[in-house]
Structure 1
Amino acid sequence: MIDLIVFLVLLALGYVFGRFAESRHFKSIQQREQEFAGVLAFSERLPPPSMAHREVALVGGNVVISVDYFKMIAAGLRSLFGGRVRAFESLTERARREALLRMKQEARDLGAQMVVNVKLETASISKGNKGQVGAVEVYAYGTALIEQALT
């Protein structure tokens, strides 16, 4: 009986604190997306012809976001029945958007207003002997087109 109570308390705490942290992170992402709206990111391999003679630099942004206890339990239950694992969808969305923001930050620090050939790499970091997902890593990278100073 005590094990069940501990499980339910951990489940409730995981839900409450995980939801709070996720909500706070999404608000931060939305604010920074507005801040970096001037740095454009495209998946096109080559820059537009008008910007072909710019200085270039490889820029990237990396993030690792861990899975909270509630998401692990919800995903475990979903695996019994199949279907979409919405708990992990929000996790990967946060990681993707955060990685892109970090890439844009690096590009802006270099004086770029555009990043082309943007790619995303993802990986899950397992924990435990059962290969449970412990965290998600996303790396965003691309080629920043930097304004050249006129001399």
Structure 2
Amino acid sequence: MGELLFQIGLFLGMLSLGYLFGRRNERKHYRSIQAREDELRSLLVLSTKIPPRSMLSHSSEMVSGSVVISVDYFKTVVAGLRSLVGGRVGAYESLLDRGRREAILRMQQEAKTLGADAVLNLKLETSRIGDNAGKGLGSIEVLAYGTAMIPTRASAPDNR
């Protein structure tokens, strides 16, 4: 009986720690994402394939950004419980949201380094890495890629 109580207590303790540290890290990551999104807001990211007329003389280069994010223990447990009854798995939705936004930011940063005005033809790829020994999602990788539109000297505005 004492061993069972210990195991239940250990499980609840791990669950609580996973929740506390996971929420703290997630909030910190979201704050970082929001700050960098504000910083890079002027660099347009569009899913359109055809550049606007104003960018026809720009040069182009492929840019990408990727991120791997691991699932915390709490989210794995919650998702497992949710799979018993069905419905939305909000724990994984925030994980995917953070992954997409982080990958796009990394791609935008690469485009900004090249001097791009915009990134066109945005594409996103998501994949699962590992399966946490068959007990859950493990980690996800999100890859964002597109075409950076870089002004050439002839198309750059004259600032005289």
User: Shift of residue 136 of structure 1?
Assistant: 1.1
Secondary structure, in 3 states, of the residue corresponding to 2:49? Answer: coil
Q: What is residue 54 of structure 2 aligned with on the other side?
A: 50
Structure 2 CA distance, aligned partners of 1:124 and 1:59? 22
Q: What is residue 69 of structure 2 aligned with on the other side?
A: 65
Number of residues of Structure 1 aligned to a counterpart in Structure 2: 151
The share of aligned pairs that are identical, in percent, is 52
Q: What is residue 99 of structure 2 aligned with on the other side?
A: 95
Q: What is residue 12 of structure 2 aligned with on the other side?
A: 8
**CA offsets per residue over residues 56-89 of structure 1, 9 Å max, x none?**
0000000000000000000000000000000000
User: Shift of residue 6 of structure 1?
Assistant: 0.5
Structure 2 CA distance, aligned partners of 1:36 and 1:129? 38
User: Shift of residue 13 of structure 1?
Assistant: 0.1
**Does 1:34 pair with 2:38?**
yes
Task: Specify which structure has the higher proportion of strand.
Answer: 1
**Does 1:145 pair with 2:149?**
yes
**Alignment equivalent of 1:107, drawn from 100, 103, 111:** 111
For the Cα contact (< 8 Å) 2:130–2:138, is it kept in 1?
yes
User: Shift of residue 46 of structure 1?
Assistant: 1.2
**CA offsets per residue over residues 70-127 of structure 1, 9 Å max, x none?**
0000000000000000000000000000000000000000000100000000001133
Structure 2 CA distance, aligned partners of 1:131 and 1:10? 15
* TM-score after normalising by structure 2: 0.91
* TM-score after normalising by structure 1: 0.96
Change (3 A) 1:121 1:59: same
Larger Rg, first or second structure (1 or 2): 2
CA RMSD, Structure 1 to Structure 2 (Å): 1.3
> What are the ranges of 5 or more consecutive residues in structure 2 without an aligned counterpart?
none
**Alignment equivalent of 2:131, drawn from 120, 127, 132:** 127
Task: Give the counterpart letter for 2:41 in structure 1.
Answer: A
**Alignment equivalent of 1:79, drawn from 80, 83, 87:** 83
Structure 2 CA distance, aligned partners of 1:21 and 1:108? 27
